[in-house]
């Protein structure tokens, strides 16, 4: 039995695959398109959302759901499931759509490819943002290419139909959302694969922000021409197209688009870079504050150098002795008389804000702990700064007068004694015979 297990393990390793159950099918949202001419002879597109099944298998396999449209993704050089490793079917969101080649009709240079193909794009996203995978499914057709835009002659797909396809190209990012600190280096991941060797491709990176689109990098494998920087050219031949951002600034926050073109397919994935700089929190008093009863003091809590704007500052008060109780400990009480400043701009485009209150010392508040709690999108837990208040009874005016009179009396007595001592000493000196 042990020998058989060893043989199975060796077979798995030699095949280069993991011996774990693979995803066999996924429910997908299919956005079908119906293109027609309206009454004014203008082209209109009607979008029709439909629920379909993406099924992995072999040609001729029975559908999982006989009454639904089934996209049967058969084996090819590219196995889409390899790009979904580590994810469960319940964690994946699948979207399918028709793909137009914009009137470009070329023979796809892969085994078994015909002169004309129907194309579909399939985008699978991890629900926790771990990756985004977009693949292009090719449905071979024995029909000649249409003499017009392909979307004008797309065939109707009835319910229950099985569309046998293969994956022709895959593009993936493992960093669909990147949260960066100011000054940090970030690697925006992008990888692509094509189902045949020697494919001529163009790989590009663009930055999109507030309607502006800027090209960061471009490389054509056909001409060997490279523009821009941030991507290593040599690994591109193996599909590695990741972009390195050397120094993150506020202006770096944008949507970065990695695109790969292999005629007639244009594939892209988006990486959303978000700058999240946590605040530096300080309060205007030390860990302990001593006041006399009735004395008033402005206490300020400041959150400095944060980005973006989403910050919340709250002051609480609590009895430290009561908070140590295991059962029935009172919750911290939120202070209501808090004044909050507006967001102030710093030179590096971060923000500063403060929240303060006027603390009037009372003996009943002596021993209380006051806490400033600052929450921000960059923080897993709020930053807290606190101090303990000690309130002392004021010294009475009668006591001050008594002390003053006592000091004055003693000073007078001392002065008189010094005068007498000086006079006696002087007389003693005068009586000495010389």
Q: What tokens does 19 get?
A: 């011996």
Strand partners, 134: 123, 171
Whole-structure pTM value = 0.81
HSE (side-chain half, CA atoms, 13 Å) at 324: 4
pLDDT at 369: 95
For residue 209, give the 3-state DSSP assignment. Answer: strand
Domain extent listing, the chain: 21-275, 280-392
CATH 2.60.40.10, applies to 21-275: yes
Decide whether 21-275 matches 280-392 in CATH topology: yes
> Residue 300's pLDDT is what?
97
Write the CA distances from 231 to 143, 191, 193, 376, 377, integer angstroms.
41, 12, 17, 33, 30
Alpha helices by DSSP H, listed for 338-396, are none
How does strand 383-392 pair with strand 351-360? unpaired
The answer regarding whether domain 280-392 maps to CATH 1.10.287.1040 reads no
Cβ 57 vs Cβ 24: under 8 Å? yes
Query: Given this model, what pLDDT does residue 104 score?
Result: 85
Residues contacting 150, CB < 8 A, separation 6+: 100, 101, 103, 105, 118
Residue segments in the chain with a per-residue pLDDT below the cut of 50? 1-20, 434
Distance between CA atoms of residues 297 and 291, nearest Å = 9
The whole-number pLDDT of residue 396 equals 58
| Strand, helix or coil for residue 120 | strand
The Cα–Cα gap between 191 and 433 comes to: 118
């Amino acid at each position: 039995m042990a020998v058989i297990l060893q043989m199975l393990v060796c077979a798995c390793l030699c095949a280069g695959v993991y011996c774990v159950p693979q995803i066999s099918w996924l429910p997908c949202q299919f956005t079908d398109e119906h293109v027609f001419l309206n009454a004014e002879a203008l082209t209109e597109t009607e979008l029709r959302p439909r629920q379909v099944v993406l099924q992995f298998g072999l040609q001729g396999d029975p559908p999982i759901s006989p009454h639904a449209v089934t996209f049967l993704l058969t084996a090819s050089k590219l196995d889409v499931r390899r790009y979904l490793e580590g994810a469960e079917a319940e964690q994946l969101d699948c979207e399918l759509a028709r793909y137009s080649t914009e009137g470009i009709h070329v023979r796809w240079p892969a085994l078994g490819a015909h002169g004309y193909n129907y194309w579909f794009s399939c985008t699978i996203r991890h629900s926790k943002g771990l990756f985004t995978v977009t693949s292009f499914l090719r449905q071979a057709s024995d029909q000649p290419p249409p003499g017009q835009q392909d979307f004008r002659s797309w065939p109707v797909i009835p319910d229950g139909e099985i569309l046998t396809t293969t994956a022709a190209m895959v593009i993936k990012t493992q960093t669909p959302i990147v949260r960066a600190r100011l000054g940090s280096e970030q690697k925006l991941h992008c990888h692509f694969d094509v189902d045949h060797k020697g494919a001529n491709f163009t790989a590009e990176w663009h930055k999109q922000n507030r309607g502006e689109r800027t090209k960061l990098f471009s490389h054509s494998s056909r001409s060997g021409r490279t523009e821009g920087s941030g991507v290593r050219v040599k690994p591109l031949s193996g599909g590695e197209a990741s972009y390195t951002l050397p120094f993150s600034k506020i202006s770096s926050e944008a949507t970065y688009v990695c695109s790969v073109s292999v005629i007639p397919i244009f594939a892209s994935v988006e990486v959303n870079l978000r700058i999240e700089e946590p605040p530096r929190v300080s309060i205007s008093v030390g860990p302990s504050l001593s006041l006399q009863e009735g004395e008033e003091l402005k206490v300020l809590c400041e959150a400095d150098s944060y980005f973006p704007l989403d910050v919340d500052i709250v002051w609480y008060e609590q009895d430290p002795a009561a908070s140590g109780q295991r059962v029935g400990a009172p919750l911290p009480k939120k202070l209501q008389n808090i004044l909050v400043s507006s967001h102030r701009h710093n030179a590096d485009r971060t923000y500063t804000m403060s929240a303060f209150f006027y603390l009037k010392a009372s003996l009943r508040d002596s021993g209380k702990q006051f806490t400033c709690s600052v929450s921000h999108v960059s923080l897993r837990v709020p930053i807290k700064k606190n101090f303990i208040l000690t309130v002392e009874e004021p010294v009475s005016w009668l006591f001050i007068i008594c002390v003053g009179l006592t000091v004055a009396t003693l000073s007078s007595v001392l002065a008189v004694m010094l005068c007498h001592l000086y006079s006696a000493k002087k007389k003693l000196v005068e009586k000495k015979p010389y």
